A = this chain, B = another copy of it.
Amino acid sequence: MRSGPPRPPARLLKAIAPLILTGGILLIPRPDEVQAEGWTVFAIFAGTILALILRPLPLGAIALISLTATMLSQAVEPDVALGGFGNPTIWLIVCAFFIAKGFAVTGLGTRIALGFVRLLGRRSLGLGYGMALTDVVLAPATPSNTARAGGVLFPIVRSLSTLSGSEPDDGTRRRLGAYLTLSSFHVNAVTSAMFATAMAANPVIQQLAGDQGVSLSWAKWALAASVPGIVSLIVVPLLLYRVFPPGLRDTPEAPREATRRLAELGPVARAEKLMIATVVLLLLLWSLGDQVLGVSPTVSAFVGVCVLLIAGVLSWDDLLAERAAWDTLVWFAVLIMLAGQLQELGFIGWFSGQIASGVDGMSWQVAFVILTLVYFAAHYLFASNTAHVTAMYAAFLTTAIAVGAPPELAALVLAFESSLFASLTHYATGPAPVLFGAGYVTLGEWWRMGALIGAVNVAIWMVVGGAWFRLLGFW
């Protein structure tokens, strides 16, 4: 028997504010270009985002309520609204949680983490760079940034943190876990921007730019991204180390302890070998799969989970008990559905049109900077890089070219931003919910650091990148 929880006035206010926002937006006369249903979805979406920030209830409960409101308002049919639960990107994320569980139950995560600690662990900053190096090495061959950050790096971050006595829920999260989580997350946005094959939406961008007559080859992309990319990779872990410092800084005893514990662990066990084989298989499938074998990143991830289940490395009960996976399934599915409907029902198109008309008549330099900033900030409205790119890339590129920006410059800058804006929120991109879901970083920290690192990356890619693109002759 249980009674409802106590309801302090603060909680009531937190619950009412999103309702007022949604109701207020519904009262504004909608623009003609937006369908009535699209305006309703926007009102619900805005209320949902406010509720996610104020947190009168856990994320999953808010998502369920938003989903129900969307269906009840008849803005979206139930089978479409529930369709988010069948989205392949979401199941890639769910599988990434399950695979990460394999690192935990076999103890392999601990072993890899100990290796890293032995190699780079004299300072926690060294660990941040160790993660960054791993990510950039994997990036050219891993077209799913979720697989990379969520499937490969996240379990190592998790193990490293636990090894250093940093857990999400016992007051030790800032000791190491919070720093490593955010550093890996923001580095992932940078590595995603660096190669045409490093993020799922990048090939979409190549296609859309090609439709506007701008050819972005793999080599041109990598060359253009190289200099600003390397600068960002150097700056991001260090900047976070200054403004969001881990409690643990100098750790001279860590490598010694790691060496001792690795000796204790002894030889690699059967389950660990199976786990290594699975991860190697996954990396092969993720790097070759889509183009060479026709196996999508999601299907590859399911193959990995099946191998772990069949080999007995993971039990079905391990998966059912992985609450974070089910939690993420629910709230990410609802946000992806809402974001998709915003586009489907004309809101995004109207929104892009407003922007384009706003910069009419300015010099191309000013207009282009405004366009890129708006394109970047608009990602607060999106739960996926791919959705944002699909919805807005072509419109913004067309507008930029129309106001006089050099086509190659415009195509590349918008392309890079399409990865970099993934820094902004905890729902911005595939790995975001995985890393946020681990619980090391609060929502407030996530958004504040997201805005800071996002701004710094934009500055680096505009100033350093701008000079480099000029040198390359793109403008």
Contacts and interface: CB of A to CB of B under 8 A. Distances in A.
Interface of A: 1-5, 7, 15, 57-58, 60-61, 64-65, 67-68, 71-72, 74, 78-79, 82-88, 91, 105-107, 269-272, 274, 294-296, 298-299, 302-303, 305-306, 309-313, 315-317, 319-321, 323, 326-327
A274 B5 CA distance: 13
B67 A309 contact: no
Interface residues of A, dominant DSSP: helix
A68 B299 contact: yes
A326 B327 CA distance: 11
Contact of A321 (B313, B316, B323): B323
B58 A1 contact: no
A433 to B, nearest CB: 14
Contacts of A83: 83, 86
A86 B76 CA distance: 14
A323 B303 CA distance: 23
A107 B323 contact: no
A78 B303 CA distance: 13
B64 A306 contact: yes
B71 A107 contact: no
A48 B368 CA distance: 56
A85 B106 CA distance: 29
B65 A310 contact: yes
Given A88-B78, A294-B74, A327-B320, A271 B2 contact: yes
B88 A86 contact: no
B305 A64 contact: yes
Interface centre among A107, A302, A319 (most CB of B within 10 A): A302
B82 A86 contact: yes
Contacts of A311: 4
Contact of A299 (B58, B71, B302, B323): B71
Given A1-B269, A86-B83, A271-B1, A316 B68 contact: no
A78 B296 contact: yes
Lowest 8 CB-CB distances: which A-B pairs, in order? Answer: A4-B312, A86-B86, A1-B107, A58-B316, A83-B86, A68-B302, A320-B323, A61-B316
A2 B271 CA distance: 7
Nearest to A66: B306
A65 B309 contact: yes
Given A60-B316, A61-B309, A64-B309, A4 B299 contact: no
A307 B78 CA distance: 18
B4 A271 contact: yes
B4 A274 contact: yes
Nearest to A318: B2
